[in-house]
Structure 1
């Protein structure tokens, strides 16, 4: 996002945090209602454009929202989204993306309140790895013929009782309402959002053998020193890298595996 949309999203994030600082606010209900608004705005282009029309005053757009959704949303959700439509957006799609982000954030806040945010981060990463490694599962979740109910049932069979309910909710929403995102990209975005709840970055770490607790502590401390903030480690094991570790933080890859060094040496010799 650029310009006005970036500023509007930043303001919406602050309002969400201020709202959910109140323990009496039901973050799970808030997530559900914001997700329903996301679906509506994604589906109704005319409404989406009306609510982001720069020629209309912010109050006029908020009043339109209240007339349409006042009886369907709780007071907290209505106030939050009304504040968003009062802002200025560079593109109408940015409003939809931002409401969706706030829906996901509300679910993550629910996990954070329960002391389960770390578990949700790890479970999102694990599910992403499982889906990436299973063409059959990816195919079933992308199947355009299968309805949302069938996909939700499949995910509940796979995840129900095995992961935190927030993890299942986030993954189910991503699969049934991808809005053009791939499963891999969606999981990665959710992982970054979860890490941001603790002002942390996410590092995907692949090693030939499981790392010891001491090794994890040393690696986490080293990455925190490099990036200037806490780093959450998503750990995976792949014997194919032979030795060492491979670390990816965002778009940056730090290769420390023997396999990578052998490949580099072979390329140099071939050159």
Structure 2
């Protein structure tokens, strides 16, 4: 879901601003789902995707096209937002589709935020990713192309319904049924970053051999926030191979304070 074109990046930034303008009055229980429905239509109908992303076509004409197709089928807020999105210029059709997905995920994050559960949403996406890593049979079933969508939905319902936020269930279900060329873990990581961006927070993956106390978590988050100039959300992973200390990854940067890390460093020095 990486948007690389300069024109598309500018349009994505404008689209996100328009989403923020819509959120205060929108029905957040419907907005994300409606945007995902539009995404499915754009992904499925290649001719439509080309038409609404064609830079040579008048923006107002593209907006009228989607309004005619979607009027009465999605909420007024979603229709207004999608019409605004297709009026903008996009470097290539796939980046328009990626932008709609970004808006859909962000709308679900706003839904969780409005319910006071955005922290739960971040934690649940991370924990479900770790469940998939530990349970290869479950991961295989959810990723199997031959398993019918209703079976996958039923399995997710059994696992998650009533146990996670509504936004988590929506995002996980969407990713499982329509991964859009990604692994499940990769998609969950992308969605988690978008949720963190909703709060302008960095996400730190902390590997530790023992569970951290609430005081330790609070102190670590404060230290990292001071160092990076942003609020930091901690995803804690118990990892006995760290042998003591902490390994912290924020983006591409790794802070390794573990005994195992120091031993690896010594081995590299000896081998050089």
Give the TM-score normalised by structure 2: 0.95
| Cα offset, 1:95, TM superposition | 0.8
2:7 equivalent to 1:4: yes
Alignment of 1:161-200 (within 5 A): 161-200=162-201
Q: Give 2:239's aligned residue.
A: 238
Offset, 1:227: 1.5
> In the alignment, does 2:261 pair up with 1:260?
yes
Per the alignment, residue 142 of structure 1 pairs with: 143
2:45 is matched with 44
Unaligned runs of 5+ in 2: none
Q: Distance in 2 between matches of 1:118 and 1:161?
A: 17
Task: Give secondary structure in 1 for the equivalent of 2:206.
Answer: strand
Contact 1:4-1:89 within 8 A present in 2 as well = yes
- Structure 2 equivalent of residue 78 of structure 1: 79
Deviations 1:158-213 (A, max 9, x none): 11222112111110111101111111111111111111111111001110111122
**Quick one: distance in 1 between partners of 2:271 and 2:11?**
52
Query: What pairs up with 1:214-225 in 2 under 5 angstroms?
Result: 214-225=215-226
Task: Determine the C-alpha separation between the residues in 2 that align with 1:67 and 1:120.
Answer: 34
State the shift of 1:270 in Å.
Answer: 3.3
Aligned to 2:91: 90
Query: Once structures 1 and 2 are overlaid, which stretch shifts more, 183-192 or 217-226?
Result: 217-226
User: 1:268 Cα deviation (Å)?
Assistant: 2.2
Q: What is the root-mean-square deviation in Å for CA atoms of aligned residues?
A: 1.2
8 Å CA contact 1:28–1:106 kept in 2: the answer is no
Shift of 1:267: 2.7
1:16 aligns with 2:13: no
Distance of 1:144 and 1:18 partners within structure 2:
38
Q: In structure 1, what is the equivalent of residue 69 of structure 2?
A: 68
Distance 2:49 2:165 in 1: 33
TM-score by length of 1: 0.96
Structure 2 CA distance, aligned partners of 1:231 and 1:13?
A: 22
Structure 1 SS opposite 2:202: strand
In the comparison of the two structures, how many residue pairs are matched? 269
Q: Name the SS for the 2:236 alignment partner.
A: strand
2:33·2:170 contact (CA, 8 Å) conserved in 1?
no
CA distance in 1, matches of 2:83, 2:7: 17
Q: Distance in 2 between matches of 1:30 and 1:163?
A: 19
What secondary structure does 1:139 align onto? helix
Gaps of 5+ in 1: none
CA distance in 2, matches of 1:227, 1:248: 12
1:266 is displaced (CA, Å) by: 2.2
Displacement of 1:64 in angstroms is: 1.2
Match of 2:33 in 1: 32
Residues 98-138 of structure 1, C-alpha deviations (whole Å, 9 max, x = no match): 11111111111111001011011111111111112221111
